[in-house]
Amino acid sequence: MQRAPLIRNQFGGNFGGPIKKDKAFFFFDYEGLRRSSGSQIIRAVPTAQFRAGELGYINSNAGCDGTARFASQPTCITYLTPSQVAGFDPQGTGDNAALLSFINGRYPNTINDPSGAGDGINTAGNIFTVPARESQNVYTGRIDYNLTSTHKLFVRGNMERRGLTMISTPPSWNLPGIRRRTLAIGSQATHFRWDGRGLPLRT
């Protein structure tokens, strides 16, 4: 399977300055991330026999049990033909042609991981790579305020927003987007005292 590409863009910036001279100051920082990559997804799809209207089951041959799969023990799997399926139908109708047409048009017909998904008899695994888009935005703000020459206060806030979207084929297989937001706020007050040498002591 072809390796999925990885594209990563990271950017950001910051600015700050005084709000009130020698009294209040502000700072703001932004960091952004955009990443496009591929993620392997596996889904159960109908087998070629099921698409043709056949219905498989585990037979009673020697060595066959509930773990038998067509890929590993084909002699343990028996497929009923469409006419045989109709014979078991009390109304004699058998396969629903409209339903089979819908299934054949909806699901891919490639089976590249037979034991990865499905029952291994009427459905099997289809593994494929889908594009995944990830975004991240981090905002950080801070305000410093000098209450007096010895008392200082700051308040800081941080918000992070993350998102992840996977786009599949067919579109009905798309995974639900993941959105997450976190918010944190903190503050601190600092008092400076001076020692006998004139050096500040923070408390």
Contact 193, 203 (CB under 8 A): yes
Give the end of a domain, one of 128, 154, 182. Answer: 128
Residues 196 and 133 in one domain: yes
Q: How many helices (H) and strands (E) does the chain have?
A: 3, 8
In a domain? residue 2 = no
Residues 31 and 75 in one domain: no
Structural domain total, the chain? 2
Can you give the pLDDT at residue 50?
Answer: 93
Residues 124 and 134 in one domain: no
Can you give the pLDDT at residue 170?
Answer: 54
Can you give the pLDDT at residue 186?
Answer: 87
Can you give the pLDDT at residue 4?
Answer: 64
Domain that holds residue 52: 46-128
In a domain? residue 1 = no
Residues 64 and 110 in one domain: yes
Residues 117 and 175 in one domain: no
Residues 54 and 121 in one domain: yes
pLDDT tens by residue, the chain, 203 residues: 556 678 899 999 999 999 998 899 999 999 999 988 877 788 889 999 999 999 999 999 999 998 889 988 999 999 999 999 888 888 888 888 898 899 888 888 888 887 778 899 999 988 887 778 889 999 999 999 988 877 889 999 999 998 887 666 555 555 556 778 888 888 888 776 655 565 555 55
In a domain? residue 52 = yes
Can you give the pLDDT at residue 132?
Answer: 81
Can you give the pLDDT at residue 144?
Answer: 93
Residues 120 and 81 in one domain: yes
Give the end of a domain, one of 128, 144, 169. Answer: 128
Phi–psi pair at 99, nearest 5 degrees: -65, -45
Amino acid, single-letter form, for residue 4: A
In a domain? residue 67 = yes
Give the end of a domain, one of 86, 106, 128. Answer: 128
Residues 37 and 133 in one domain: yes
Contact 189, 152 (CB under 8 A): yes
Residues 25 and 65 in one domain: no
